[in-house]
Amino acid sequence: MTQPADTAPPPPAPDTEAGDYIRLQGITKKFDTVTAVDRVDLEIAKGEIFALLGASGCGKTTLLRMLAGFEIPTEGSIFIDGTDMGRVPPYNRPVNMMFQSYALFPHMTVADNIAFGLKQDKMPRTKIKTRVAELLELVGMTQFIKRYPHQLSGGQCQRVALARSLAKRPKLLLLDEPMAALDKKLRERMQLEVVNIIEGVGVTCVMVTHDQEEAMTMAHRIGVMHEGQILQTGEPHDVYETPNCRRTAEFIGTVNMFPGNVVEDHPDHIVVNTKDLARDIFVDHGITGSAGMKVWVAVRPEKISLSTTPINAEYNCAAGTVEEIAYIGGTSVYHVKTANGTIIRTAMANVDRKASQRPTWEDQVYLSWQANAAVVLTW
């Protein structure tokens, strides 16, 4: 993207998949010797809710702070609606952020908090009043207009913080761990509520979270980050069902990972031999590779079925004893130990109420899965 400055603006790149309302090009951020963000390219469409997902220290917050303008990228550029944000200071960016624990000004009422940004724009007093009322209505907090932040509950604070960050009609809304300060029950409700409000307003949104459930519930698209790089972007379903690498597969949900070698390579299926299992694994999709190469086969626990009657198939099965059972209400996760010591996790829906009909500790059980259940990963 080295366009001479004097030529006419380049035609918008036809990107049917993502759109480029927000565009990050080769963004790198170094702190002394540590590279927090490493050559990130990202395009986000107008009106999209995009989640940066990763463990703490993966660089997702630094990336968010660069979008807000609190950090200046060491290399690369950020475009918002076609404008290079370059050295635009945070107070001049069309970007607003909802902070992790909201950072509501403690010495201001709810109304003053929401009006703060509007006052900076020198909006007339009467207009501010209307806008504040409008926003309070939007987040359902009209009756709390005169309260101070310390007089509000966590969920109410979040609504006010959301209203405050939407007040200036930003082109980009940033959410930093939006649900981190809420308990689990409230979190689930607020996730949907916040998404409804954001979608209703139509604002483009980038959020940061370490909670994969939160990312999957709230975002249209997810970017999985690790060590400063985005490993994979895609819709929640894609990232979960077809991870492109081991880290993504392991980070999103739980997975059984079998390292092995390709023994048969066909365009429509492959067979993988693994030391972890007595039988080979048959996968119904081809890979770009060759026989003999090292691969990892990922199988989600819920795709493995558990039976007490022996299964004798050529592929995709295993036998073992129940080592551990984690009962989590709707499902139970069984840890099955095979004869050679591999632990395979399988999830079983608790359909009938009687526990006596399910396998229990030390029982001999048999595992199997379909040819389309596994994903082959090459790195």
Partner 1 sequence: MVKKGLKRWLPSGRATVIGIPFIWLLLFFLIPFAIVLKLSFSEMAVAVPPFTDLIEVAGEQINIRLNLGNYAYLIQDPLYLQAYLGSLRIALFSTLLALLVGYPIAYGIARSSPSVRNLLLLGIVLPSWTSFLLRIYAWIGLLKSNGLINNLLISLGVIDAPLHLLHTDLAVFVGIVYAYLPFMVLPLYTNLVKLDMRYLEAATDLGAKPWKTFLFITLPLSRGGIIAGSMLVFIPAGGEFVIPALLGGPDTLMIGKVLWEEFFNNRDWPAASAVAIVMLTLLILPIIWFHKHQSEEMHTP
Interface contacts to partner 1, rule CB under 8 A: 68-70, 89-92, 95-97, 99-101, 103-107, 116-117, 120-121, 148, 150, 164-165, 167-168
Q: How far is CA 224 from the centre of its chain?
A: 6
CB of 171 to partner 1, least distance (A): 13
For the residues of 325-355, what is the DSSP string, one character each? EEE-SSEEEEEEEETTS-EEEEEEE--SS-G
| Distance set, CA 28 to CA 60, 129, 206, 235 (Å) | 12, 41, 18, 24
Tokens in use for 129? 């009043």
Nearer to partner 1, 120 or 153 (CB): 120
Provide CB contacts within 8 A for 355, sequence distance 6+.
none
Instruction: Read off the tokens for 230.
Output: 């985005």
Residue 316: count other Cβ atoms within 10 Å of its Cβ: 22
Joined tokens for residue 79: 């475009």
In the complex with partner 1, which residue's Cβ is closer, 69 or 320?
Answer: 69
Supply angle C-alpha 144, 145, 147, rounded to 5.
65
| Burial status of residue 157 (CB atoms within 10 A of its CB: 0-12, 13-18, 19 or more) | buried
Nearest distance in Å: CB 56, partner 1: 17
Cβ of residue 58: shortest distance to partner 1, in angstroms?
A: 21
Work out how close the CB of 153 gets to partner 1 at its nearest, in angstroms, rounded to a whole number: 15
Q: How far is the CB of 59 from partner 1 (least distance, A)?
A: 18
Name the residue nearer to partner 1 (CB basis): 107 or 185.
Answer: 107
Asked whether 173 and 98 are in contact (CB, 8 A), the reply is yes
The smaller minimum CB distance to partner 1, of residues 102 and 251, is found at: 102
Q: Closest distance between partner 1 and the C-beta of residue 161, in Å? A: 9
Q: How far is the CB of 117 from partner 1 (least distance, A)?
A: 4
In angstroms, what is the minimal distance from the CB of 151 to partner 1?
9
Cβ pair 203, 95 in contact under 8 A: no
Q: Is the dihedral of CA 198, 202, 203, 204 positive or negative?
A: positive
Best CA proximity match to 109, nearest among 165, 154, 149: 149
Contact criterion met (CB below 8 Å) for 366 and 325: no
Which residue lies nearer to partner 1 by CB, 160 or 190? 160
